[in-house]
Chains A and B, each alone.
Chain A
Amino acid sequence: MQGVCSAAAAMAVELYLDLLSQPCRSVLIFAKKNNIPHEVKQVSLMDGEQHREDFGKVSLIRKVPALQDGDFCLAESPAILLYLARKFKTPDHWYPADLQQCARIDEYLSWQHCAIRLHGSKVFWLKLMIPEVLHVEVPKEKMDAAVEELNGSLKLLEEKFLQDRPFIAGDHISLADLVAIVEVMQPVAAGLDVFGGRPKLSAWRDRVQAAIGKELFDEVHQTVMGSQERVKVMDGSKLEFSKAKILKFFM
């Protein structure tokens, strides 16, 4: 038994994560769902832990998520997800061998950076973090504009990427849906009613949650979903060092 255990431990990848971050959630859900041997190393962005010296050795880019597999270090969630899928030979539907289907997933993973990811993050910061933690007032026009941009991206998600399919790449959940759902949940965590009035998106969300497993989904989302409560007691000084950068980026 001991030999098997140490072999498994040797095989375990290290995942550097902060579950407040959307791409960290997709990586953790994927690893857990597929029973990929892994060890989670927490990196608290709010506490500036991404600037630690040891973390810099794993991720030159100093971003989470980051993966370490022996001597091999990798950043950027799409790259990490694809690497894990290939290395651990996860079920085909996550990233099919069929060239057109995997191209469809690559297309989504590419598009989403400057669309849902950007717009969902912006709403999260403008609606919750900037006013409640940085105590900076967000002008109504900026908030409205951010929600409009998000609406545009959600519309494209529904009309171009989903259309009449159950999932983005077809009949089964794939990496595209996983990356999409964690981003859509971010503005939800800030208190925006993203699913209200969007039956198609809601139905897709239900299918994705069912495919992942509601328990796993909720477990990984627990931290971010508690954001509205947490900001009431959060120490705003934690973010002071990046305040200027945050305001410049989002406002």
Chain B
Amino acid sequence: MAARLGVEVYLDLLSQPCRALHILLGCTSLPHTVRHVALRRGDHRTPEFSQLNPMQKVPVMVDNGFVLTESDAIMKYLVNKYDVPEHWYPRQPERRARVDEYTAWHHTHTRPHAAKVFILEVLLPAQTSSPVDEERLSRAVSQLDDTLEKLESMFLRRQPFLCGDDVTVADLLAVCELMQPEAGGRDVLQQSPQLQRWKSRVRAAVGDAFDQAHAVLYAVRDRRRAKL
């Protein structure tokens, strides 16, 4: 009988959804093998990777031949299939629906709006060796602030976590997106004490897995700081 290696996950820890998945795997101790994909090197555009995922994106999960993309689908699959605490993706219909509601909204709000700040402040200037477009960045920050306000008033409200009393995959997805602008030294939650407290609770809930997933991001941030 072949030894089970657990699931294989193709990740680049500079990618927000990859970190969310990495944290889930880390704090649930699910057996897994990480295959590193360096987006900066174009690893995602190779013929081999494109065969695995024609969308040329990370993360990708392979579970004994079953290939799955999209971080939220991957995390839900893992929680459904393996013996992990069910609070990550609760089974009770209304609680599960709350997580589904957030993961859908995430795609059109938290993810694009936080990513845009990172792209304008860090990625584009690095790739094009040009200065930051301050006007566009300012608009992007403003748009993200609107989204943070909605995150707080529509999802978090008075709850400890986004979808209720316990941490779920929704919190992982959100927190990793909101960490991305840290690469440029920007704390997007600076003006939001409620969200800062939420983030602390998420960090406490996942333990070391948080910093382990973010090590690469911290390194990027620290290198940039050293240059300035």
Q: A75-B101, A106-B70, A160-B54 are in contact. Are A114 and B107 (CB under 8 A)?
A: yes
Residues of A within 8 A of B87 (CB): none
A136 at the interface (CB under 8 A from B): no
Residues of B within 8 A of A72 (CB): 94, 97
Looking at A100, A103, A114, which has the most chain B CB atoms within 10 Å of its CB? Answer: A103
Q: What is the 8 Å Cβ interface bit string for chain A, positions 53-76, against chain B (1 contact, 0 not)?
A: 000000011000000000010111
Q: A74-B97, A74-B101, A83-B100 are in contact. Are A103 and B154 (CB under 8 A)?
A: no
| A75 to B96 Cα, complex, angstroms | 13
Residues of A within 8 A of B108 (CB): 113-114
Q: Which residue of A lies closest to B108 (CB)?
A: A113
B216 at the interface (CB under 8 A from A): no
Q: A79-B104, A86-B96, A87-B93 are in contact. Are A106 and B77 (CB under 8 A)?
A: yes
Question: Does B76 contact A111, Cβ atoms closer than 8 Å?
Answer: no
Q: What is the 8 Å Cβ interface bit string for chain A, positions 78-116, against chain B (1 contact, 0 not)?
A: 111011001100000000000110111011011101100
B112 at the interface (CB under 8 A from A): yes
- Chain B binding surface, main DSSP class: helix
A77 at the interface (CB under 8 A from B): yes
Give which listed residue, A75, A87, A99, contacts B80 with CB less than 8 A.
Answer: A99
Looking at B80, B97, B98, B150, which has the most chain A CB atoms within 10 Å of its CB? Answer: B97
Interface residues on A, range: 20 to 34
Residues of A within 8 A of B72 (CB): 106, 110
Question: Does A114 contact B112, Cβ atoms closer than 8 Å?
Answer: yes
Size of the B side of the interface (Cβ < 8 Å), in residues, is: 30
Q: Which residue of A lies closest to B72 (CB)?
A: A110
Question: Does B55 contact A61, Cβ atoms closer than 8 Å?
Answer: no
Question: Does A83 contact B153, Cβ atoms closer than 8 Å?
Answer: no
Residues of B within 8 A of A100 (CB): 66, 77
Question: Does A103 contact B73, Cβ atoms closer than 8 Å?
Answer: yes
A164 at the interface (CB under 8 A from B): no
Using a CB-CB cutoff of 8 Å, which residues 109-137 of chain A contact chain B?
109-111, 113-114
B69 at the interface (CB under 8 A from A): yes
A159 at the interface (CB under 8 A from B): yes
Q: Interface of B with A (CB < 8 Å)?
A: 54-55, 66, 68-74, 76-77, 80-81, 93-94, 96-98, 100-101, 103-105, 107-108, 112, 150, 153-154
A156 at the interface (CB under 8 A from B): yes
- Chain A binding surface, main DSSP class: helix
Q: Which residue of B lies closest to A23 (CB)?
A: B104
| A134 to B71 Cα, complex, angstroms | 38
Give which listed residue, B74, B98, B104, contacts A113 with CB less than 8 A.
Answer: B104
| A72 to B93 Cα, complex, angstroms | 11
Give which listed residue, B55, B70, B93, B107, contacts A156 with CB less than 8 A.
Answer: B55
| Chain B min CB distance to A29 (Å) | 18
Give which listed residue, B69, B70, B71, B100, contacts A82 with CB less than 8 A.
Answer: B100
Give which listed residue, B55, B76, B77, B97, contacts A83 with CB less than 8 A.
Answer: B97
Question: Does B70 contact A111, Cβ atoms closer than 8 Å?
Answer: yes
Residues of B within 8 A of A156 (CB): 54-55
Question: Does A111 contact B55, Cβ atoms closer than 8 Å?
Answer: yes
Residues of B within 8 A of A82 (CB): 96-97, 100
| Chain B min CB distance to A251 (Å) | 14
The 8 closest A-B pairs by CB, nearest first: A79-B100, A113-B107, A106-B73, A76-B104, A110-B70, A79-B101, A107-B73, A103-B77
Using a CB-CB cutoff of 8 Å, which residues 130-147 of chain A contact chain B?
none
Question: Does B93 contact A60, Cβ atoms closer than 8 Å?
Answer: no
